[in-house]
């Protein structure tokens, strides 16, 4: 039997890591439909059917969290690749104007990055590679650090 497409097209194994150039991904469970660029926190539990899981960010200032971005839009729950490091397109909310080179964070219960500031903090997940000033969430070029961060309440 000859498989058409690559192993990437076929999916992965729960928790698998994949590296392509400067991009890193993790294969995690989405409990519901996803939107490309949606920002999630990768969580872990003992349920082999759903471990690891991409979850809504929740305030966490004592344990660093791994942040990922959905790589495609889906219509139902299931496993998919979340990008955790490198050049990416992610949803960025620009109500507080984001300039190129601003550091970005994700806040409690949010699904988009927001401006963190001009200096790196323990909450900075990414850096903007282009400006975003719309009062809505827009796919924006960012660089994901791939480091665990704290999730602020607001």
Average pLDDT over residues 36-65: 94
Largest CA distance in the chain: 54
Res. 9: pLDDT tops 60: no
**Sign of the torsion angle spanned by Cα atoms 27, 31, 36, 42:** negative
- Which pLDDT score, from 0 to 100, does residue 13 have? 81
CA–CA gap between residue 141 and residue 99 (Å, rounded): 12
Indicate if the pLDDT at residue 62 is higher than 70.
Answer: yes
Average pLDDT, rounded, for the chain: 92
Q: How confident is the model at residue 8 (pLDDT cuts 50, 70, 90)?
A: low
% of the chain at pLDDT higher than 70: 92
pLDDT at 4: 43
In this prediction, residue 103 carries a pLDDT of 98
Residue 11: is its pLDDT beyond 80? no
pLDDT tens profile 88-140: 999 999 999 999 999 999 999 999 999 999 999 999 999 999 999 999 999 99
What pLDDT is attached to residue 35?
A: 97
Alpha-carbon distance 151 to 43, whole Å? 13
Its pTM surpasses 0.85:
yes
Q: Give the CA distances from residue 25 to residues 42, 71, 95, 142, in Å, rounded to whole numbers and listed in that order.
A: 11, 9, 29, 15
């Amino acid at each position: 039997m000859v498989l058409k497409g690559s192993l990437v097209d076929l999916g992965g194994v729960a928790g698998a890591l994949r590296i392509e150039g400067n991009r890193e991904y993790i294969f995690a469970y989405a409990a519901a439909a996803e939107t490309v660029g949606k920002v999630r926190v990768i969580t872990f539990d003992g349920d082999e059917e759903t471990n690891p899981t991409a979850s809504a960010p929740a305030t966490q200032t004592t344990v660093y969290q791994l942040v990922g971005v959905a790589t495609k839009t889906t219509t139902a729950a299931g496993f998919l690749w979340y990008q955790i490091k490198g050049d990416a397109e992610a949803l960025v909310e620009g109500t507080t104007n984001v300039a190129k080179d601003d550091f970005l964070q994700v806040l409690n219960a949010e699904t988009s990055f927001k401006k963190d500031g001009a200096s790196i903090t323990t909450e900075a997940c990414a850096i903007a590679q282009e400006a975003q000033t719309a009062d809505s969430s827009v796919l924006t070029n960012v660089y994901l650090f791939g480091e665990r961060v704290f999730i602020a309440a607001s």
